[in-house]
Amino acid sequence: MEPKDIKTEIWTGYRTGVEAAQEKYGADIAYPIAELAEQLPQYLKYADRILYRLGHDDAFNAQVIGFWQQLLRRRGRDGYAPTAIEDLSDYLHAMRLIKDPSELQQMRRAAAIAAEAHNLARTIAQPGMYEYEVQAAIEHLFAKQGGGVAYPSIVASGGNSCILHYVENNQKMGETDLLLIDAGCSVGYYNSDITRTFPVGGTFTPEQKAIYEIVLEAQLAAIDCIAPGIPYNEHHDAAVRVIVEGLLDLGLLVGDIDEIISEEKYKPFYMHKTGHWLGLDVHDVGAYKYGEDWQELAVGNVLTVEPGIYISPYIEPIEGQPEVDPQWHGIGVRIEDDVLVTETGLEILTEAVPKSVAAMER
Ligand code: GLY
Ligand code: MN
Ligand code: MN
């Protein structure tokens, strides 16, 4: 810990200090950080191995390795020193993949606040308003509940909906625009991550509706693949299949479905994965694969399910595929929910935000 120091704290804010650290954070013991080089080797000395997360902080990596080297040099005389260093993340990340009841309480809270914000956003958005006005309403609601943003909110109208990480949020919304809102709340250190897409003027154009319906079907098909024991890739594969089928029906792609999937010809329309682990981080830690084997879903996992279709006005020609008719340009749709794996299958933590065509138009 940095020690208490009123002169510094006046400039840069309160410090917990060494004394309060044990009481406040439940540490067994605390020292001033300046004593690290003196104290840490004494703790490492009697261990068989050092479990340490390499790969984050070069300066601290060098310090830890330096302590280890010191101990190894004295091992012959002292009789003790760790003989291995092992990456901590396999242990820690496996723990973080399974949410315990107290973590789930925070996750549900983060989900409920973000759900309320999305429901509010749909009622206030209207033609002539700026994207940042909707962003402000969402983030105001987060703050009122003691939360903050889980990540920079994406409030993307019209063609902006085709930019995955659009965060400028500075355009005026038009009558026939879609509005894609990807906004999540962070509260009690845990995060939610929700996307909804709806017509600003209250009615989908036929093209917007056609794309929306495919994405919704893909999302429902992906959610259907979630249960304990199912390999992580299955819900993505299910979503891709529904999206490709839909694009074939609309004539946006032509050819054999399996070839289009294996040759990834759909990627200019759907270029990201169907989700990620969610928790203390938005894109949380945890393995998706072990070698060639996909991680199997387990009770207590929380993941997002978020397929989309994006038809950028700047979409590039796809080899062997028809040129995209401009009537489709600027349509970007994503639907994202947060899903908990349970004994019986799943629970959608963000279910309080509707997603039917009718609800999006209402
Ligand atoms: N909002 C970040 C994501 O959906 O992954
Ligand atoms: Mn996400
Ligand atoms: Mn998101």
Q: Verify whether ligand 1 is closer than 6 Å to residue 306 (CB atom).
A: yes
Q: Which of 241, 230, 206 is nearest to 331 (CA)?
A: 206
Q: Give me the helix-helix angle, 234-249 and 206-224, nearest 10°.
A: 150
Q: How far is the CA of 154 from the centre of ligand 3 (A)?
A: 8
Say if 115 falls within a structural domain. yes
Q: What is the DSSP letter of 347?
A: E
- Residue 122: CATH number of its domain: 3.90.230.10
Tell whether ligand 1 has an atom less than 6 A from the beta carbon of residue 337.
Answer: no
CB under 5 Å of ion ligand 2: residues: 193, 304
Mean pLDDT value of segment 212-228: 98
Of 64, 88, 112, at which residue does a domain stop?
Answer: 88
User: Which ligand 1 atom sits closest to the C-alpha of 334?
Assistant: 4
What is the per-residue pLDDT for 84?
A: 96
Q: What is the Å distance from ligand 3's center to 224 Cα?
A: 20
> For residue 151, what are the CA distances in angstroms to 133, 139, 190, 218?
17, 11, 12, 25
Count of the separate structural domains present in the chain: 2
Looking at residue 66, its pLDDT comes to 95
CATH classification at residue 16: 3.40.350.10
DSSP for residue 34: G
Beta strand 49-52 with 84-87 is parallel
Q: Tell me how far CA of residue 269 lies from CA of 164, 211, 247, 335, in angstroms.
A: 12, 11, 9, 15
Looking at every residue in the chain, the average pLDDT score rounds to 97
Ligand 2 midpoint to CA 318 (Å):
27
Q: Are residues 74 and 115 in the same domain?
A: no
- Which amino acid appears at position 342 of this protein? T
Q: What is the pLDDT of residues 295-329, one digit of tens each?
A: 999 999 999 999 999 999 999 999 999 999 999 99
Ligand 1 touching residue 151 (CB < 6 A): yes
* Per-residue pLDDT tens digits for 151-199: 999 999 999 999 999 999 999 999 999 999 999 999 999 999 999 999 9
Instruction: Tell me, yes or no, whether 302 lies in a domain.
Output: yes
Q: Are residues 31 and 158 in the same domain?
A: no
Q: How far is the CA of 156 from the centre of ligand 2 (A)?
A: 15
Ligand 1 geometric centre to CA of 240 (Å): 18
337 and 211 inside one domain? yes
d(CA 337, CA 350): 6
**48 and 153 fall within a common domain:** no
- Domain membership of residue 1 (yes or no) is no
141 and 27 fall within a common domain: no
Same domain, 132 and 211: yes
**Chain position carrying tokens 């209250």:** 202
Ligand 1 atom with least separation from CA of 306? 4
> Which residues have beta carbons under 5 A from ligand 3 (an ion)?
182, 193, 195, 336
Give the ligand at the shortest distance from the Cα of 165.
1
Do 204 and 331 have their domain in common? yes
Of 88, 110, 142, the one marking the end of a domain is 88
Strand pairing category for 337-342 and 302-305: antiparallel
| Structural domain containing residue 344 | 93-360
pLDDT at 81 over 90: yes
Statement to judge: residues 287 and 257 lie in one domain: yes
Which of 88, 110, 129 finishes a domain?
88
Provide the whole-model pTM.
0.94
* Ligand 1 atom closest to residue 275's alpha carbon, by position in its atom list: 5
Cα–Cα nearest to 185, from 138, 236, 232, 225: 138
Question: Is the beta carbon of 182 within 6 A of some atom in ligand 1?
Answer: yes
In a domain, 71, yes or no: yes
Judgement on whether residues 59 and 176 belong to the same structural domain of the protein: no
Based on the domain organization, do 80 and 107 belong to the same domain? no
Average pLDDT over residues 208-213: 98
